[in-house]
Structure 1
């Protein structure tokens, strides 16, 4: 009998640390299952879902760039993710063979900010893709102040502000940062194999937080700049591990053993 498995899909996918994370937890819990990375091109996404739908060993997948929005049209949506966040990052095949999508990015992103008082705080967000939707959903729930979205296409940013009921501005990527209390990079800029993120942090106040959801490399150019300014930094592993833990329980029916987070983080940063 084929071992149960889950996977992460995207284009590109070689950078993903999800197999290390899920494999670590599977080993700690003694679960006889696999977790792998699978390269799926955008045009192949419908075929991928159709094939996996009929595979009882497949328990689901995590979804990364660029498939989070396209997934909305391919799987069931019992939690009405389309109308709330508008992007799916976790797909699950249940014991009845139903394939449905959800989003664990929003909670994973917000977890390290839970003790920070963001009510009314000005925020700047770089990017307007699937990850930005989860971030903006979480920020709207936190009651942040004006939000400035910087994106190659400002119209996409303006549409997201309207979608989540946020007040603020949508500016081109080349625009100067506002004096935000929190800066979040949700784009792929700065990721291994992608162009660098070129941004001047000087407009940020001394108490600002810089949060880069890119995790390959872990020490991005943006975080190096934040360190040089003496600003508080949050790296991509915070969100990655948080969202992965929720997905793991959906895939394998057991909570992720978070007591081993320090060991896991050391493994991921070697």
Structure 2
């Protein structure tokens, strides 16, 4: 019997998740599918989640704009998803619809892979932006760094993020303006959908730069940092990192040892 899973969001045609999971499924030799689902409104998304409850799908990854709705529909929610206020993974477990967020694990996996020299202990991380993407970043970084500073154009939104996440985060969370936030930073993560307005030249030589987007893969932020000798981590590594625990949850087996980054890069080049 074919195992059916997929990713839900809108728009969804650009998603690389089917490429990544498809490569793993092929390598594992599983009779399984991982498809794109594009519910354009909340009602359609709820119908799709109903297919999980009915056993038609084992589960779904969830992307914008349905992550918060996904959390609200679950019977059981992980502490990470509760802290982030959203879920990117839904699955049925013995009749219980569970929700989790694997984005933070993806971020940390990307840093471990592409910036292995980064030492978080006692250090400061800076997150640019206070939207949905930044919440997962702040939560994950707050488990490893001593302090996480949030920089956002709208102070109220950053303050709300700090208030919401501080109870779940051992690190000190603060909202600061860009000039003060960058001082002594070991890591700067761009969680904005646009290029950040910061002075890369003001960063110390050991500062690691990460951009959570992967279109383009080499953003202007990463290109400038790389040209100045900074270690960098990209959003594709994060996407693959968050997909690993999702695959294991949805399909019930370890991720095969296959180069899915090469497949994803080929898809990126083909789609622009």
CA contact (8 A) 2:81 2:99 kept: no
- 1:132–1:48 distance in 2 versus 1, CA, 3 Å: farther
Higher helix proportion: 2
- Measured after TM superposition, the shift of residue 54 of structure 1 is 4.2
- 1:91–1:221 distance in 2 versus 1, CA, 3 Å: same
**Number of residue pairs matched?**
256
Residues of 2 paired with 1:187 and 1:44: CA distance?
28
CA contact (8 A) 1:109 1:243 kept: yes
Does 2:101 align with 1:103? yes
Q: Which residue of 2 aligns with 1:264?
A: 260
Q: Deviations over 1:202-224 (max 9, x none)?
A: 22111110011212221122211
Residues of 2 paired with 1:148 and 1:123: CA distance?
6
- 1:41–1:117 distance in 2 versus 1, CA, 3 Å: same
Q: Which residue of 1 aligns with 2:150?
A: 149
Residues of 2 paired with 1:121 and 1:9: CA distance?
36
- 1:81–1:46 distance in 2 versus 1, CA, 3 Å: farther
Pick aligned residue for 2:142 from 140, 145, 152: 140
- 1:54–1:167 distance in 2 versus 1, CA, 3 Å: closer
- 1:64–1:200 distance in 2 versus 1, CA, 3 Å: farther
CA contact (8 A) 1:68 1:130 kept: no
Q: Secondary structure at the match of 1:84?
A: helix
Q: Which residue of 2 aligns with 1:26?
A: 25
Q: Deviations over 1:91-130 (max 9, x none)?
A: 1123x34321011122221124455321222221012233
Q: Which residue of 2 aligns with 1:193?
A: none
Bigger mean CA deviation after superposition, 208-217 or 162-171 = 162-171
Q: Which has the higher contact order (CA 8 A, sep 6+)?
A: 2
Q: Which residue of 2 aligns with 1:61?
A: 60
Residues of 2 paired with 1:127 and 1:77: CA distance?
29
Residues of 1 paired with 2:38 and 2:101: CA distance?
20
Q: Secondary structure at the match of 1:99?
A: strand
- Unaligned residue ranges in structure 1 (runs of 5+): 190-195
- Measured after TM superposition, the shift of residue 159 of structure 1 is 2.2
Residues of 1 paired with 2:228 and 2:264: CA distance?
26
- Measured after TM superposition, the shift of residue 68 of structure 1 is 2.3
- 1:168–1:60 distance in 2 versus 1, CA, 3 Å: closer
Normalising by the residue count of structure 1, what TM-score does the alignment of the two structures yield? Answer: 0.84
- 1:44–1:222 distance in 2 versus 1, CA, 3 Å: farther
Normalising by the residue count of structure 2, what TM-score does the alignment of the two structures yield? Answer: 0.84
Q: Map 1:233-244 to 2 at 5 A.
A: 233-244=232-243
- Measured after TM superposition, the shift of residue 252 of structure 1 is 0.8
- Measured after TM superposition, the shift of residue 245 of structure 1 is 0.9
CA contact (8 A) 2:21 2:34 kept: yes
- 1:128–1:41 distance in 2 versus 1, CA, 3 Å: farther
Pick aligned residue for 1:178 from 177, 182, 202: 182
